[in-house]
Amino acid sequence: MHPWFVTYTTGPLDVRKTFEVDADTKADAIVLGDTLAAAWLRLHGLVPGDLRGDPADGSESAAARLSYCQPAPPAWVGIFGRRADDGHHTRVTTAPMVSAILDHHGAVPAPWNATDELPWRIDLRNHSPSGLEWGYMGSGPAQLAIAACAFALGDERAETVYQAVKDRLFAGLQTPEWVVTVGRLRELADEIEQAAREHEKGVRHA
């Protein structure tokens, strides 16, 4: 078993809720996600409708639509950025960081056994449909931030921190090649969320 991020959207504003579940397969992860999504709707006083689309009756039931399902990467998975020699085209991939995670057969635990392109996730935010960028304050680094945060944190949490991650990390990268681990992104997200809580607490007591 390994962890998965399963994300649902609900309501006219497409509010996202991400659950982290342990499962052997994507199908099993979705089954568990459906159960948690239904419980989440009930907790908020809503009657779960069709978890695949519109509710059967629009008056009292609510739909939680499955929008994304992906393995939740371990902290030792890295996100690698590289700018081509022409200075324009970029490529961002994900892969295991170190040989220390090899098993006794010399293999990397599935599904982290290959170098994969980082999904751009323009379904979450369409800042830069032309590609991922870094090194300045703009739409390309914003797209990279939402893509990297969704990969490392899940969709729901990514939406709340990605702009700060862009400002604190990706906008400042000035090298043609770089790497950041999932673990570091999670630490940075924790720092950002902690700062936000402290700011909110200070405002309430001002």
Written as six digits, the tokens of 14 are 């497409």
pLDDT of residue 155: 96
Q: Does residue 30 have a pLDDT over 90?
A: yes
Most confident range, picked from 49-63, 100-114, 176-190:
176-190
State the Cα–Cα distance between residues 192 and 99, nearest whole angstrom: 31
Q: Does residue 141 have a pLDDT over 70?
A: yes
Q: Which of 58-62, 94-98, 199-203 is least confident?
A: 58-62
Q: Does residue 4 have a pLDDT over 90?
A: yes
Distance of CA 17 to the CA centre of its chain: 12
How do the domains of the chain map onto residue ranges?
A: 2-71, 77-197
Residue 60 burial (CB count, 10 A): 10
Phi, psi of 31 (to 5 degrees): -60, -45
Do strands 65-71 and 2-10 pair parallel, antiparallel, or not at all (unpaired)? Answer: antiparallel
pLDDT of residue 49: 54
State the Cα–Cα distance between residues 44 and 8, nearest whole angstrom: 15
pTM of the model: 0.83
Q: Does residue 113 have a pLDDT over 90?
A: no
Written as six digits, the tokens of 114 are 């290959």
Mean pLDDT of the 43-53 span: 59
